[in-house]
Structure 1
Amino acid sequence: MILILFIFVCVFTFMYYFNVNKNYWKIRNVVQVNYAAWDFLFGKCSLPEVYRNIYNAYPNENYVGMYLNTKPVLVLKNLEDIRAVLKDSHCFHSRGYYVNDKEDLIDNLLLMNDYHRWKLIRQRISPVFTIKKLKSMSRSIYQCSDSLIDYIKNYQCENNKSIFEKFNFVAIGSAIFGVDFVTKNALQSPIVNALCTPLPFFQRCLFSLKLIISIQFPIVLRVLNIKIFDDYKNLILEIIQKVSKYRHETPGKRDDYIDVYMEIQNYESIQDASGCKINIDQFVASQAFSFFVAGVETTASAVDYTLLELANNEHILEKVHKEIDGIFHKYKQLNYYNVEAMEYLDMVLSESLRKYPPIGSMQRVATEDAILPSNLKVDKGVYVIIPTYALHMDPKYFSEPDIFDPERFSADNINKIKKYTYLPFSGENRICIGAKYARLHMKIMLAVLLREFTLKSCMYRVTTFEPNLFTLSSSKVEYELIPRHKRV
């Protein structure tokens, strides 16, 4: 069935490509490129890299038109256009995934198309990430960190990024959902291993195909009842229900996602003034799943790239060690305030997120006709791309962008960065709801790791990334963690 579906998609796309869309942008007086889809499908790079190549090829244009399979796509370059797309919830709130209506886990903040549902859920989720709750979460992340250090010391043959993904699952589960991993080493939990084991090659290809179909041919998903994430639904719900049952029997609050769930658990649904309704169990499972999807792999990549750059830049690594050692010498353990006080580590992380943004491009679709500030009309159904990776590596905005330079984000320089040129967590109305948590999580990971380990000097450079629709990931990052024998 899948093979037949794949052949159908390819044949239909080929016919549509050459007969319908071939002059879509030309007749609108927009520069059009016709090779982008093939560069991605038959190349060995990520789609954000393809967008960067297009971005760089037309330095004097405000935008470049292209199409991916059946969909006209506009790559934005003008900062005012980017601002408008990020800020305009009315016309550009959708990411353009149209999925099987029966798949509950897809109904989350990451992929939701219904603006009223998105707004209602965002209002319900926002209290999870207040400063008060981040303080509590910082304690949970730090308490999990011993398992990270022990695992690295005992399983040095395992890829560092895969270890970080396991830790992220444990830390997010503990900090946001109150999950207590009871094994001696939390990273060896059967649940963690089950969810963090990389998919076989065929399943990865199948997953990517389903995502492409959800954009290009959503009716196929519905007709064939294909579900992308449904395999995880029961496991996610089981975890949350077990934790909430335990918490009902235990007095006190932890200021996390489970507390939000427990507050609304007695209602069949939640709704807003417009009458938009969301089933409680669907709400809980889908948002929980989105936290893991958004936080596990992307955070692991960010930490991985940061350590690589520190291994390549000994003088920066030395300054980071000095700051971390000073904090541990003064406070003995980490909390929200002393993590925030590590200003140089924050600069290093910010620069890493510039050079290697976890999400290399952002996709939106016009839900109605719109006119951009540059005076281009965007028809309903057209996809617009904010090429984050290209913006971060544009020498107009970041001089010598290939150089890793944390000083770009010093107190004296950070205000010189043009708005909408640095977007590691998106921006405006759709800024990542967990951005503050993610930075806190990554800083604690880096601080704990670099207290116990240093890095062997290396000169490895990432020249290209693995084929992926949005992320900038590489399984070949090379650096070596070495135990520190002299530390404060």
Structure 2
Amino acid sequence: MFGIIVCGVTVSLISWIYLHWRNVREYWAKRGVPHSPPHPLMGSLTFLQQRNPALWMIDTYQQFKKPYVGIWLFWRPALIINSPEIARNILIKDFDNFRNRFLKPGSFDPLKNSLFTANDPMWSAMRRGLTSVFTSSKLKAMQSLFDLKANDLVKRIKNTKDTSKLDVRSLFTDYTTDVISTAAFGVETTATLTGEDPIRTVTKTLMTFDWYKGLCWSTIFFFPKLADWLRFPIFPESSTQFFKKVFETVSKQRRDNGIDDVKDVLDAILKLKDDGMGNKQGYTDNDIWAQAVTFLFAGFETSSSVLSFMLYELSFRPDLQEKMYEELIEAKKIHGSLDLSIQADLKYLNSVFKETLRMYPPLGWLDRQTLNDYKVDEKLTIPAGTPIYVNAIGMQYDGDIYPDPKTFNPERFLPENEKELKPFTFMPFGDGPRSCIAKRFGQISVRNAMSYLVLNFKFKPLPGAPKPSEVKYENKHLFLVPGESLHIEFEPRN
């Protein structure tokens, strides 16, 4: 009798699983949405830890060339947006229905309420509190910081006997760690000049991806409920505790000296906590210092990756180097200096920067989640809770928008050409209210470093080095970053 019951339960369970799987498998077909058949377990995510997601996004865009494509996050239906018009609606026009990201750290994670991952209303309150740090005037006040670290970068290269031994990505990560650590934590660091610093030691561990960290991140990005259940962290506990101690120490010193004006991210975070206590927002200590940690992580690796790809592309393009050099010399002659506002107006410097971001955006998609049922177009309405992925990198590799998209061609972004580009087809910093809050900071840190380097060196590829199109990407990382060391020759200019 017991055996019959067990058999009956087993058959019922198998039948339920099969029927549920059939409903999952037919979900997008019933709605007339283009898609590839899902894997019985992984759904559309069979590429994870085998291929960088950005490359998969490009392939998906080019395979279908439709306004949207249905996918599955394991068994959960989600939608990739390939249309700039629909992207505009999601990111701006109908933003109130897409205020939250789909990715989410676990409830145990001290970074669960960072600006990058927090949901409304906490996200909007924190965004308002931190926006003041990234105004043009506040960033201009950091000119000395950017110049100091750019000078250190030049000194480091000049002091290196054999510059071909320098790992470009590691070199730039030293620089971005220094710049952002000072802005985020108010801590003076020495990684740019020496390659060593306690904070840099920790960021080295954060940028190293193995199968376990890849699993943690993939789950947080694509199956956040499971990440919470399995207690998968964004960062190792030792790293977060290190930054927490740094924040507590420095913030105490800052408070003891008094905060008269918000000068940097640390001031803004401390003020955010004070204001939160006053308006009963209910920020925890973790909510507050998590903002500094997230600012550091979101900036140090993304900016260093962009600088690495930019420099590597330039090493194969001496013509572009000379145009940038002549532009910088001319601007310096006219203005007497090359401050941050002058750099922002240099057409060749900025066109090279933008073309790098087009080809190598650190995060190639923008994830959102519908709060309510949403009418995508006349043919499709999706239910509340559906994950959405705006395929930014797919559009940036569309040959109809960017002819010969695999060729590095900064001419696309010269002022006379850029005005012809279709809106919402270039979104390396996102767009709309939830775009990158530190966009200007990132732009300045890249432009200033590259200006100093172009003025001081010529960049040359090493014999036998892979061409830019042959460079490997990190497959276990969700960001588009180099998967191998990049080396070039730095030749001092006379």
- How far residue 320 of structure 1 moved from its aligned partner, in angstroms, is 0.9
CA RMSD of aligned residues (A): 2.9
- Counterpart CA distance in 2 for 1:184 and 1:163 is 7
> TM-score, with normalisation over the residues of structure 2?
0.85
Whether the aligned pair in 2 keeps the contact of 1:270 and 1:279 (CA below 8 Å) is no
- How far residue 447 of structure 1 moved from its aligned partner, in angstroms, is 0.9
Whether the aligned pair in 1 keeps the contact of 2:177 and 2:200 (CA below 8 Å) is yes
- Structural mapping, 1:237-386, within 5 Å: 237-248=244-255, 250=257, 255-264=263-272, 266=274, 269=277, 271=279, 277-279=281-283, 281-328=285-332, 334-373=338-377, 375-386=379-390
* 1:429-482 residue CA offsets vs partner (Å, 9 max, x unmatched): 211111111111100111112222211157713345332564222233645132
> TM-score, with normalisation over the residues of structure 1?
0.86
Is 1:175 the counterpart of 2:183 in the alignment? yes
- How far residue 211 of structure 1 moved from its aligned partner, in angstroms, is 2.7
- Matched to 1:319, the amino acid is K
Is 1:483 the counterpart of 2:469 in the alignment? no
- Counterpart CA distance in 2 for 1:336 and 1:122 is 24
Is 1:45 the counterpart of 2:48 in the alignment? no
Whether the aligned pair in 2 keeps the contact of 1:48 and 1:469 (CA below 8 Å) is no
Correspondent of 2:444 among 436, 440, 443: 440
- Counterpart CA distance in 1 for 2:51 and 2:444 is 30
Number of the residue aligned with 1:118 = 123
- Matched to 1:235, the amino acid is F
- Counterpart CA distance in 2 for 1:83 and 1:373 is 13
* 1:320-368 residue CA offsets vs partner (Å, 9 max, x unmatched): 1112234455667643223224332011101111111121122222232
Number of the residue aligned with 1:4 = none
- How far residue 141 of structure 1 moved from its aligned partner, in angstroms, is 1.4
- How far residue 55 of structure 1 moved from its aligned partner, in angstroms, is 1.2
Number of the residue aligned with 2:8 = none
* 1:93-138 residue CA offsets vs partner (Å, 9 max, x unmatched): 22212432232212112112x2211111100010010111110123
- Counterpart CA distance in 2 for 1:355 and 1:233 is 32
- Counterpart CA distance in 1 for 2:265 and 2:417 is 36
- Counterpart CA distance in 2 for 1:186 and 1:178 is 19
Number of the residue aligned with 2:3 = none
Aligned to 2:484, what secondary structure does the other structure show? coil
Is 1:192 the counterpart of 2:192 in the alignment? no
Q: Which runs of 5+ in 1 are unaligned?
A: 1-13
* 1:204-248 residue CA offsets vs partner (Å, 9 max, x unmatched): 321222233335554444445443334333322322333333334
Task: Decide which structure has the larger Cα Rg and report it.
Answer: 2
Whether the aligned pair in 2 keeps the contact of 1:17 and 1:69 (CA below 8 Å) is no
Whether the aligned pair in 2 keeps the contact of 1:268 and 1:280 (CA below 8 Å) is no
Correspondent of 1:150 among 137, 152, 155: 155
- Matched to 2:97, the amino acid is C
Structure 1 pair 253–94 and aligned structure 2 pair: CA distance change class (3 A)? closer
- How far residue 256 of structure 1 moved from its aligned partner, in angstroms, is 0.7
Number of the residue aligned with 2:32 = 29
- Counterpart CA distance in 2 for 1:471 and 1:110 is 14
Aligned to 2:416, what secondary structure does the other structure show? coil
- Counterpart CA distance in 1 for 2:303 and 2:177 is 10
Structure 1 pair 15–187 and aligned structure 2 pair: CA distance change class (3 A)? farther
Structure 1 pair 303–217 and aligned structure 2 pair: CA distance change class (3 A)? closer
- Matched to 1:72, the amino acid is P
* 1:176-231 residue CA offsets vs partner (Å, 9 max, x unmatched): 43222268946421221232246666xx3212222333355544444454433343
Whether the aligned pair in 1 keeps the contact of 2:105 and 2:228 (CA below 8 Å) is yes
- Counterpart CA distance in 1 for 2:478 and 2:377 is 26
Whether the aligned pair in 1 keeps the contact of 2:273 and 2:283 (CA below 8 Å) is no
Number of the residue aligned with 2:91 = 86
- How far residue 154 of structure 1 moved from its aligned partner, in angstroms, is 4.5
Correspondent of 1:418 among 411, 416, 422: 422
- Counterpart CA distance in 1 for 2:363 and 2:192 is 34
- Counterpart CA distance in 2 for 1:106 and 1:97 is 10
Structure 1 pair 363–220 and aligned structure 2 pair: CA distance change class (3 A)? closer
Aligned to 2:79, what secondary structure does the other structure show? strand
- How far residue 153 of structure 1 moved from its aligned partner, in angstroms, is 3.9
Greater mean deviation of Cα atoms: 133-142 or 122-131? 133-142
Is 1:452 the counterpart of 2:460 in the alignment? no
Is 1:70 the counterpart of 2:75 in the alignment? yes
- Matched to 2:214, the amino acid is S
